[in-house]
Structure formats: C-alpha cells, structure tokens
Amino acid sequence: MDDGTSADETVRDRGVEQARRRDDKDQLREFAARFETPDDLYLDGNSLGPISDSAEQRLDEAVEQWREFGIKGWSSAEPPWFWYGERLGEQLAPLLGASPEECVATGTTTTNIHTLIGTFLDKLDDRTGILVNELDFPTDHYAIRAQLRQRGLDPDENLHLVESRDGRTIETEDVVAAMDEHEVGIVFMPSVLYRSGQLFDIETITREAHERDIYAGFDLAHSVGVVSHQLATHDVDFAVWCSYKYLNGGPGAVGGLYVNERHFGTTPALAGWWGHEKETQFDMDLEFTPAESAGAWQISAVPLFSSAPLLGALELHHEAGIDAIREKSVDLTSYLISLVDEELSAYGCEVGTPRDPDRRGGHVAIEHPDAYRISQALRDRGAVVDFRQPDVIRVCPSPLYVGFEEVWEFSQLTADIIEDDIYQSYDADPSGVT
C-alpha cells in the first residue's frame, strides 16, 4: 500500500479497532481490574477462574479471624463459621433461581453427586435405572456406578447412556425417548457439556422426566455463574456444581448443591453431623435429624479456607448481575465464533459448539486435527486455553475479566501459530493436565 502498510496490517488494524469499540460499550468492563490473571490472554476460566481482590480479601479475613477468635470463630466470626455453608447458599441462590434454603455450599461436585444420586436411588422402588449421556464428564459416571454397586445393582444394567448423533451434542428428544426405552428412575444430565459447550434444555428435560415419575438432577459445573438458572421454577429435583470455574472461588474451592424443598426431610445417603438440624447438632444425639434445608446434605465441618474466597468472589458476581454476565458471555462467544469462521476456518479450524446462543454455555470448542499442539503453542505465547480429547481447543472468554480485544488477539495469535507452522515444533502426545 502507498503508506507502507500491507493489506494484512490494515485488516488487522480494523479488526482491533472494532473489538475496542465493543469494549468501550461494555458495561462490565471495569470488573477486569478487580482480577489478576497470570497471563495476557486468560481464556481458561471454565477450568479455573482467577483470583479477584474481593476473594483474596475474604480469604485474608478468614485467616485473621482464625488468629483472633480460635474456636470462638464458629459463632463470633462474621459470618459465623457454623453457618458458613448456609450463608454461601444464600448468596448462591439468586444465580440458581432457588430459595436460600434450597442451596448450600459444601463438598465437591463428585461427593455431592455421590450423596444426591444415592439419596434419590434410596427413594426409588423398582425402577432403578439412571439415565446419563455418553459425552458426560467421567467423574459423574464413576460416582453413579459406585452408588449403584453399593446398593447391589449392576451398573452395566442400570446406567443407561443417551448416545450422541454427532459426537458433540445430545438431542433433547433423544433424552426424552430414552426415558421410555429403559426402566428409568433418575435422569442426571449436565447443564453444559464440558467439551462442546452445549447448553441443555433443563426445563424440558425436567418436565418430561416428571411426567414419567422420574427424578431430574443436573451437574451445573459448566454453567453456574455464567448462565442464569431457574431451578425452582423448572421444578428440578437436585443439582450439584463446583465453584472454581466461573464463580472464581479458587482451586478446589468448596462445591455446592441444590435440593428442591419438597425433598427436605429426606435422609441423605452420605449423612454426616454437619447436615444435622443446626439447633440440636451439639446435643450429639446418635440419631440423625436432617436439617430442614439443603444443608442436610452437608457431611463434615465447613472447609473455611476453600469457602472464604467464594464469598468474596460472589460479591463481584452480584455487583455485576447474572443477567448482564450472561448477556456479555453470549456476545463474546458469538464474536469468537464469527472470528473462527472468518479468520481461522481457512487454517482447518471448525466450531464444535452449537451456534444458537440458547444452546451454548460460556465457552467455545474449536476443533482442529492438531488441537493439542496448537493449544501448547498458544499457552507458551500467553494465551491460556485448554485441550480436550480428541481434537478440541476450549476457549473461554469469561465475561468478568475478558474483553472483545482479547478475543480478537486470540484469533490473530492462533492464525499466526498455524500459518507459520509454529505448532509443528511441539510434541503431539498429550500428557499431564491439559
């Protein structure tokens, strides 16, 4: 070109300007300053969210409370540690569309699946089948199989997998059809598939399940904090989630669970003293009286230092508002998908996530035969994404701290890495945490 810039540079300049204009209009833009990310392009918040000032502050406070109060912290700290799981439940409830009593922060996704699947299995009379799908995160199946085995039920006969038509997604109508094909007592589905990012239709699955006297439970690990849920309105029976992804509660942060209030009073499969009715917990009666709330499914004393950061992180979530978070998330993933189509499809990249925003969670799956090597090259250049077998790069523009310009930069970096064969110098064999 006359001024010495190439056509490519001009296109790139225009692209970055457009992205910046969108950032200028972003009402959540200021929140990024509240987070610290170790890399320039942190696009892995669906695996582990970064630290925020408020999460760190609550953690520091908890340490100080331990120093100041010792054992008295159970009642004198604010919030009192004795009620910490319930207090977090109150803060989580608006994100889940549930009453405060129906939510509690406790355990982990996997332990919560154990106790809730076990609890609902114990409620079943004869139809002991559990319906899951073949694209689930493996821990869900491990836990369900273990619960079936412990009741003398053969997992191979009682665990039914809905098959995927395309290897990426699960059709709602196939879930519903499978309810009729087997003797199902519980349907347990993810809200969002961990690999492709497909968002499930929780309302329809629950309604169809209930019409057949089937309990409906969900693993919300990939949606809590980025998708607005209506669990009570949709009459979901139970749900579980973790807090280290979009909720930014920290590595291994305390998980959470929801139990519909009509199931209060049921004895949890993995009962423990922390789920006892609070008022009489310290009577130390050998007979278990469940709390009249989701708190009954707590097992052990609250892990304060993996709970306190969540309290701080939730403050930011409430300041931003879940509807605004979801809106920005949809805008960011739509933008990313358009960039894959326009900039990266020429290099063999394909979108593996549903294009309909109503069927999409907070991340985008980019498929490429060399996904692993590209993901490693991206990480080494400051763009943290992750790889999932066999050919998926998961990219998560988490709305509280990622902007449109970063999504644009990611697309350009990916194009460069493929065009210049940079990824070819990486080992093709995935190992360790990917």
Ligand X SMILES: Cc1ncc(COP(=O)(O)O)c(C=O)c1O
Which residue ranges make up the site for ligand X (CB under 6 A)? 108-110, 137, 139-140, 190, 194, 219, 221-222, 242, 255
- Residue 50 vs 73, nearer CB to ligand X: 50
Closest to 356 measured CA to CA, from 190, 201, 166: 201
Q: Minimal distance in Å, beta carbon 219 to ligand X?
A: 5
Per DSSP, the three-state class of 246 is coil
Classify residue 200 by its DSSP letter: P
Structure-token pair, residue 344? 């990266």
- Residue 114 vs 373, nearer CB to ligand X: 114
Structure-token pair, residue 285? 């009666």
Per DSSP, the three-state class of 383 is strand
- Residue 194 vs 372, nearer CB to ligand X: 194
Q: Minimal distance in Å, beta carbon 109 to ligand X?
A: 3
- Residue 15 vs 255, nearer CB to ligand X: 255
The Cα 228–Cα 230 span in angstroms is 7
Q: Minimal distance in Å, beta carbon 175 to ligand X?
A: 16
Residue 348 has a CB neighbour count (10 Å cut-off) of 12
- Residue 28 vs 236, nearer CB to ligand X: 236
Closest to 90 measured CA to CA, from 282, 353, 315, 424: 315
- Residue 41 vs 135, nearer CB to ligand X: 135
Which H or E run includes 41?
strand 41-42
Q: Minimal distance in Å, beta carbon 373 to ligand X?
A: 23
The Cα 366–Cα 379 span in angstroms is 15
Q: Minimal distance in Å, beta carbon 108 to ligand X?
A: 4
Q: Minimal distance in Å, beta carbon 253 to ligand X?
A: 9
CA 344, 349, 352, 355 dihedral sign is positive
Structure-token pair, residue 321? 């508002």
The Cα 420–Cα 423 span in angstroms is 8
- Residue 188 vs 335, nearer CB to ligand X: 188
* Burial tier of 280 (Cβ tally within 10 Å: 0-12, 13-18, 19+): exposed
- Residue 55 vs 239, nearer CB to ligand X: 239
- Residue 5 vs 389, nearer CB to ligand X: 389
Phi, psi of 57 (to 5 degrees): -60, -45
The Cα 349–Cα 369 span in angstroms is 8
The Cα 376–Cα 426 span in angstroms is 7
Classify residue 275 by its DSSP letter: G
Q: Minimal distance in Å, beta carbon 332 to ligand X?
A: 20
Q: Minimal distance in Å, beta carbon 29 to ligand X?
A: 28
The Cα 415–Cα 114 span in angstroms is 43
- Residue 219 vs 343, nearer CB to ligand X: 219
The Cα 155–Cα 145 span in angstroms is 5
The Cα 414–Cα 372 span in angstroms is 13
Q: Minimal distance in Å, beta carbon 393 to ligand X?
A: 16
Q: Minimal distance in Å, beta carbon 194 to ligand X?
A: 4
User: Which residue type occupies 247?
Assistant: L
Structure-token pair, residue 36? 């610290």
- Residue 106 vs 411, nearer CB to ligand X: 106
Q: Minimal distance in Å, beta carbon 386 to ligand X?
A: 10
Phi, psi of 103 (to 5 degrees): -125, 145
Per DSSP, the three-state class of 125 is coil
